């Protein structure tokens, strides 16, 4: 079975400051890794994913995440946040082999203060 | 394309009442899912359907039933609602992407309150 732990339930930061949202996972088999974003009163949208290859993956709006196999982590970072980044962020994993259900972390609410 | 649509958006039930949450997708996806989202617990899978005609239990299936009516529609039924089922319910559908993983697309959610 897989499990995902997001270490911070809430992260408040000031606009234009850097941010890191932490995610650790546990799995006995190889997994794909994902970050989803949920803006207020909306469904989830895929932000970025790690499938294979380069361990650093980027999104179109300036977020990046690095897969660290030895530490079983997939932390999300952005060097300078905007008010529009206010949302809840979910880390998720799915098995590479077999039924590809997603297992989600608890979520991290990112609040940007002006 | 509307993507994944869910009805209703909001619902209030009394304990013991029944209701069905509807979900439809117009992306010709084979797989569909029902999740519930509760504060501090992320999204938990209730049921999923890998293809038309098949359904399987997820992490928290107790108190729910599902029907994969056709390729487009996947409904979730609460036969006798309980306050513990107060939650936001999300439907999703997925397509297999080059690279071998299933990308999931989510609906806007149904906010259900059981009094």
The tens digit of pLDDT for each residue in A46-95 reads 999 998 888 899 898 899 999 999 999 999 999 999 999 999 999 999 98
Structure tokens at A28: 């006995």
Q: Which candidate in B21, B30, B43 is best for mutational testing of the A interface (most A CBs within 10 A)?
A: B43
- Dmax (CA) for chain A in angstroms is 45
* B61 vs A: CB within 8 A: no
- Cβ neighbors of B62 (< 8 A, separation 6 or more) are none
Compare all CA atoms of chain A with the CA of B41 and give the residue at the minimum distance.
Answer: A106
User: Between β-strands B74-78 and B110-114, what pairing exists: parallel, antiparallel or unpaired?
Assistant: unpaired
Report d(CA B68, CA A38) in Å as an integer. Answer: 26
Residue A53, class by beta-carbon neighbours within 10 Å (0-12 exposed, 13-18 middle, 19+ buried)?
A: exposed
Q: B8: cis peptide before it, omega within 30°?
A: yes
Q: Does B64 touch chain A (CB under 8 A)?
A: no
pLDDT in tens, B13-70: 999 999 999 999 999 999 999 999 998 889 999 999 998 989 999 999 999 999 998 9
**How far is the C-alpha of A36 from the C-alpha of A18, rounded, in Å?**
19
Chain A hits for B57, CB-CB cut-off 8 Å, are none
Give chain A positions within 8 Å (CB) of B109: 42-43
**Three-class SS state of A85:** helix
């Amino acid at each position: 079975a897989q499990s995902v732990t997001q270490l911070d339930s809430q992260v408040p930061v000031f606009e234009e400051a850097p941010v890191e949202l932490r995610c650790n996972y546990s799995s006995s088999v190889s997994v794909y890794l994902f970050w989803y974003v949920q803006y207020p009163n909306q469904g989830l949208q895929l932000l970025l994913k790690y499938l294979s290859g380069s361990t650093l993956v980027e999104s179109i709006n300036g977020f990046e995440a690095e897969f660290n196999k030895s530490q079983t982590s997939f932390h999300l970072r952005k060097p300078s946040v905007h008010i529009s980044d206010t949302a809840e962020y979910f880390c998720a994993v799915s098995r590479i082999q077999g039924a590809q259900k997603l297992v989600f972390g608890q979520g991290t609410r990112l609040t940007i203060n002006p | 394309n509307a993507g994944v649509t869910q009805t209703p958006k909001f619902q209030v039930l009394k304990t013991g009442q029944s209701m069905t949450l509807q979900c439809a997708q117009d992306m010709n996806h084979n797989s569909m899912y029902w999740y519930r989202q509760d504060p501090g617990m992320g999204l938990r899978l209730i049921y999923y359907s890998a293809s038309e005609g098949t359904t399987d239990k997820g992490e928290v299936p107790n108190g729910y039933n599902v029907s994969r009516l056709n390729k487009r529609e996947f409904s979730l039924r609460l036969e006798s609602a309980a306050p513990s089922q107060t939650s936001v319910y999300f439907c999703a559908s997925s397509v297999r992407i080059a690279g071998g993983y299933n990308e999931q697309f989510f609906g806007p959610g149904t906010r259900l309150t059981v009094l």
